[in-house]
Homo-oligomer: A and B are copies of this chain.
């Protein structure tokens, strides 16, 4: 089936000149008579000629396409990261191809193959909660295709990463709980294979220790982020003989789930039990009580990761520095810890 798109040959024939001249005229090559260039560009415009990036990619071995691989598309977090990343990519003349993995390691591997097949010039990756093996990403490095991790990063790979100050943020969140008088602070933690889970956990532990509050391992529940399990955990916590007076959740969806269970139980938030989340997802400001949480600079994470990635583009692999950018977060205090004065 013949192409329906106009090619350089079409223009050359029409204008009775060589393809190379047309090509030069179209690519802004200096050695073209202005008059010739005018004729060519005019006809190209008229015919709605579009350069075939495929052939150029074949020649240059560059596709000007960046792959973004995400663990999920469920909350507002990752889509917003994509927005930031895409803007930056567009600014630098790159397109973006996105795929999400439904938090499945196998899908992640499959998606990495898609990126390879599409000959992306680089990938921006956030790992699924299942991912423990990184061979599929190491293969990119072997092929000299740069990889940048963000949010859910791979510690053992020496590549650029964009993260937030998870440890500090968690520390601040727990400190905030302590400052409002809470002492038995539970932690609904993410799976230990995720670096962010461990960092938030450490921030939690250290905040307690620094404030001379003994750590009660019974108040720490680590789980796989499967939200259906939160109900059971929260009920368990509430039913303890010495129940917690606060919960620090590893992320907002977990915190939101927890809030609903606590409300059903009849306990008051924050008086009986305060709740803090992480990320300031969509919805966290209008759940009742509104959720105190750690706001991440979502779009900036995407933008920064893309900048880091594109920065490696023209460099030799020997110059790839495993730079780690740590962005700042902000504790957003809402009603789930401190009742706010209603503003009109």
Residue numbers of A with Cβ under 8 A of B are 1-5, 48, 50-55, 57-58, 61, 63, 65, 73-76, 78-80, 82-83, 86, 90, 95-100, 102, 110, 114, 116-119, 139, 142-144, 256, 259-260, 264, 282-283, 286-288, 342, 344
Asked if residues B260 and A61 are in contact (CB atoms below 8 Å), the reply is: no
Asked if residues B95 and A118 are in contact (CB atoms below 8 Å), the reply is: yes
Asked if residues A73 and B65 are in contact (CB atoms below 8 Å), the reply is: no
* Bound CA span A92–B149, Å: 29
Asked if residues B264 and A286 are in contact (CB atoms below 8 Å), the reply is: no
Closest to A116 in B: B50
* Bound CA span A102–B87, Å: 10
* Least Cβ–Cβ distance between A80 and chain B, in angstroms: 7
Asked if residues B139 and A48 are in contact (CB atoms below 8 Å), the reply is: yes
Asked if residues B95 and A114 are in contact (CB atoms below 8 Å), the reply is: yes
Known: A73-B80, A76-B282, A287-B287. 8 other contacts (CB 8 A): A55-B58, A82-B98, A90-B110, A96-B98, A97-B97, A260-B286, A264-B344, A282-B283
Asked if residues A119 and B53 are in contact (CB atoms below 8 Å), the reply is: yes
With A143-B5, A282-B282, A286-B256 already in contact, the answer to whether A54 and B50 are too (CB < 8 A) is: no
* Least Cβ–Cβ distance between A151 and chain B, in angstroms: 16
* Bound CA span A171–B74, Å: 30
Q: Which residues of B contact A98 (CB under 8 A)?
A: 82, 96-98
With A57-B54, A117-B50 already in contact, the answer to whether A95 and B95 are too (CB < 8 A) is: no
Asked if residues B95 and A96 are in contact (CB atoms below 8 Å), the reply is: no
The 6 listed contacts between A and B (C-beta, < 8 Å) are A48-B142, A52-B58, A53-B117, A74-B79, A283-B287, A286-B287
Asked if residues A99 and B99 are in contact (CB atoms below 8 Å), the reply is: no
* Bound CA span A209–B256, Å: 41
- In the A-B complex, list the 3 residue pairs whose CB atoms are closest, starting with the nearest: A283-B283, A288-B288, A73-B79
* Bound CA span A282–B76, Å: 9
Closest to A62 in B: B1
* Bound CA span A58–B4, Å: 13
With A86-B99, A100-B86, A342-B264 already in contact, the answer to whether A61 and B1 are too (CB < 8 A) is: yes
Closest to A73 in B: B79
Q: Which residues of B contact A119 (CB under 8 A)?
A: 52-54
* Least Cβ–Cβ distance between A338 and chain B, in angstroms: 19
Asked if residues B73 and A82 are in contact (CB atoms below 8 Å), the reply is: yes
* Neighbour of A144 across the interface among B4, B48, B286, B344, CB < 8 A: B4
* Neighbour of A99 across the interface among B52, B96, B283, CB < 8 A: B96
* Bound CA span A75–B83, Å: 13
* Least Cβ–Cβ distance between A188 and chain B, in angstroms: 17
Asked if residues A73 and B83 are in contact (CB atoms below 8 Å), the reply is: yes
